[in-house]
Amino acid sequence: MLHPPLSSNITTNGAYTAAVEEQQLLRLLDGCTGGIRPAKRIHAHIIIRGLAQSNFLIAKLLRKATTIHRPEDYDTTTSSTSMDYSQLVFEQVSRPNAFLWTTLIRAYALRGGPEAFLLYNRMAALGTPRPISFTFSALFKACSASQQGKDIQAHTLKLGFDSDLYVQNTLIDLYVRCGCVNDARRVFDTMPTRDIISWTAMIVAYAKGGDMEAARCLFDSLPHKDMVSWTAMLSGYAQNAKPQEALQLFEEMKAAGVPIDEVTLVGAINACAQLGVLHLARQIHSLVMDYGGPESVVVGSALIDMYAKCGSLKEAYQVFEKMTVKNVFSYSAMIGSFAMHGHGRAALRLFSQMQATDIPPNSVTFIGVLAACSHTGLVEEGVQCFATMQDEYRISPSADHYACMVDLLGRAGRLEEAHELLKTMPIKPHAGVWGALLGACRIHGNANLAEVAAKHLFEVEPDGIGNYVLLSNIYAAAKRWDDVRRVRKEMRGRGLRKNPGCSWVEGKEGVQKFFAGDVLSEEIETALEELLEKASAAGYVPKLDCVVYDVSDGEKEQVLKRHSEKVALAFGLLTMESRIRIVKNLRMCDDCHLLMCVASRVAEREIVVRDNMRFHHFKQGACSCGEFW
């Protein structure tokens, strides 16, 4: 809101000097919420007071006019936009200084488009005033491509701004945004002075590019680390699937007495979620409580996701229930958690509850809802939600939504319908969409349609090792060994190697990691043999078709026996007295799924397995997935 009318604050008896009038006008601008309407009213006072040529006043006016906080701040009585108006006001100043030029350039830069560069070219052509450092920082923020940045960088060199810390930092930021890490590093290396922003920007650049070794090298060389640089390094580890390194750094950060904020906590929570280790999750949660509890919706939502990924849906829901403020992110996190654990009905109930509030769902919410329907075979419900998303909430489906729908129909055996939906997509399908169809073909043994899906996948993701492995497995299940050899030859030709199966399990002395085919200790070997004997006595018969090699049945049994989740289960039976939690990097095979079911009965243990697709809860001989996975 505006202050009381200017006439009540500024008299007309000439007692105030122009400087005093300018100060009062500045205070009015400080109290202005932004937008054309209030800006125009204050502009009228500026003109009346004869201060329309004050660069500082007009610059502040333009900044307010181009800042829109509410839709009603737009001037709907004329066809002018905030930028049209600002340009007209600017043109009335006979001698705009560099600060005023930069204000308008910045306003255009924030909106994108070429106007910022055109205005700068006009400024440069006039030769006066000389640009200031903020001029170039605004231009760098307006750049959408590295070449634009290089063109502007040439001007900074010509005008002697190559040593300006602020300019160089925004140039680094530009190159990082454009993915040009080497260009960013060249700027960094030539800077005569660097601050914490320079160092942190380069750490973030390497983290975004996946080069955590280079990021760590810079981090270790950083003379004075602050909370932001520590958090950037920690988040980089978490985002690059290095959760153990992230949590180790978090411990170092605490030991160094560095303050911890919301972003730091979320990075640590996300790392813990990747590990899937419940006792660590509880430690992180306890630490969050020490820092004031999950008052932030962002932290609370991250905790929900963490507990869900660590296998404790109950604790995830407890966090959700205790949140005093819930928004679309917390609802989406809980719906996604239900989906991950195969609780489709619970996800739909929560979605209905959300609809009854004033919180509208977003695109992420619907991905969770559709995934929940897919994992529990709720086909008609999923189709209805897909329609609701478009008709009621006006959310245009993304490729991710279509991937969920193809997965939903494909898992239910409606392969042709799934293929038809894919072909009629109004947007180009990405690898996830074709991958959903290929996965459905594996479930239902449709090798012909699998070839169609794989052909497109090889075009979209020529080096996606999982696509070749999946097609090879489909051929193997169909006993098409020549095709299996052809696919494997193609893999070798591209230098692709299958990721080894790996599982980790919580034990009394921490987390133990096992790879498929590992040489086992005598104790684990004995436990594994005893488990298989008891399972066989209870009716377990190995599913030899899960082995995708053309070898003897005896050799197939030996391969299956050494799958990493079986070894992890044997270790868990040796070391854990209650529930066993296993995390696997790949999709669990049908044979391991069968053994887990039988083992949960003969060993009288609850077994929780998280693979790269979802959670399976095995109890008393049955799985929570209901054999629909």
Closest-CA residue to 231 (of 195, 259, 211): 259
**Buried-exposed string 329-363: b where 16+ CB fall within 10 A, e elsewhere:** bbbbbbbbbbbbbbbbebbbebbeebeeeebebee
Residue 506 β-bridge partners: 511
What CATH architecture applies to the domain 421-498?
Alpha Horseshoe (1.25)
* pLDDT at 410 exceeding the cut of 90: yes
**AA identity, residue 20:** V
Distance of alpha carbon 6 from the chain centroid: 49
Q: What are 332-361's pLDDT values in tens digits? A: 999 999 999 999 999 999 999 999 998 999
> Which of 272-276, 352-356, 490-494, 597-601 shows the lowest mean pLDDT across its residues?
490-494
Closest-CA residue to 208 (of 239, 250, 242): 239
Tell me how far apart the alpha carbons of residues 7 and 23 are, in angstroms, rounded to a whole number: 15
Closest-CA residue to 601 (of 545, 551, 534): 534
Closest-CA residue to 567 (of 606, 623, 519, 622): 519
Do residues 513 and 503 touch, judged by C-beta distance below 8 A?
yes
Quick count: other Cβ atoms within 10 Å of Cβ 237? 25
pLDDT of 159: 87
The residue assigned the tokens 């502009």 is 43
* pLDDT at 88 exceeding the cut of 50: yes
Do residues 609 and 599 touch, judged by C-beta distance below 8 A?
no
* pLDDT at 81 exceeding the cut of 50: yes
Q: Can you read off the two tokens belonging to residue 297?
A: 């919706």
Q: What are 60-71's pLDDT values in tens digits? A: 888 888 874 444
The vertex-17 CA angle with 13 and 18, nearest 5°, equals: 115
- H or E, element range at 13: none
Q: Can you read off the two tokens belonging to residue 196?
A: 């914490």
Q: What are 236-288's pLDDT values in tens digits? A: 999 998 999 999 999 999 999 999 888 999 999 999 999 888 888 998 999 88
Closest-CA residue to 610 (of 506, 464, 520, 497): 506
SS in 3 state form for 403-458? HHHHHHHHHCCCHHHHHHHHHCCCCCCCHHHHHHHHHHHHHHCCHHHHHHHHHHHH
Do residues 344 and 376 touch, judged by C-beta distance below 8 A?
yes
Tell me how far apart the alpha carbons of residues 174 and 489 are, in angstroms, rounded to a whole number: 42
| Residue ranges of the chain assigned to CATH 1.25.40 | 421-498
Q: 18-30 and 36-48 are packed helices; what angle lies between their axes, rounded to 10 degrees? A: 170
pLDDT of 563: 93
Do residues 215 and 236 touch, judged by C-beta distance below 8 A?
yes
- What φ, ψ does residue 503 adopt, rounded to 5°? -135, 145
* pLDDT at 212 exceeding the cut of 90: yes
pLDDT of 18: 66
Tell me how far apart the alpha carbons of residues 307 and 272 are, in angstroms, rounded to a whole number: 9
Rounded average pLDDT over 42-63: 87
**CA-based torsion, 153, 156, 157, 158: positive or negative:** positive
The DSSP line for 358-402 is T----HHHHHHHHHHHHHHT-HHHHHHHHHHHHHTT-PPP-HHHH
Q: What are 289-325's pLDDT values in tens digits? A: 887 665 689 999 999 999 999 989 999 999 999 998 9
Closest-CA residue to 65 (of 41, 46, 94): 41
User: Could you tell me the CA-to-CA distances from 88 to 92, 124, 145 in Å, in that order?
Assistant: 7, 20, 30
Rounded average pLDDT over 580-601: 92
Do residues 111 and 144 touch, judged by C-beta distance below 8 A?
no
Rounded average pLDDT over 37-66: 85
Distance of alpha carbon 171 from the chain centroid: 25
Tell me how far apart the alpha carbons of residues 477 and 17 are, in angstroms, rounded to a whole number: 91
535 pLDDT tier (thresholds 50, 70, 90) = very high
Q: What are 148-167's pLDDT values in tens digits? A: 888 888 888 888 888 889 89
Do residues 149 and 143 touch, judged by C-beta distance below 8 A?
yes
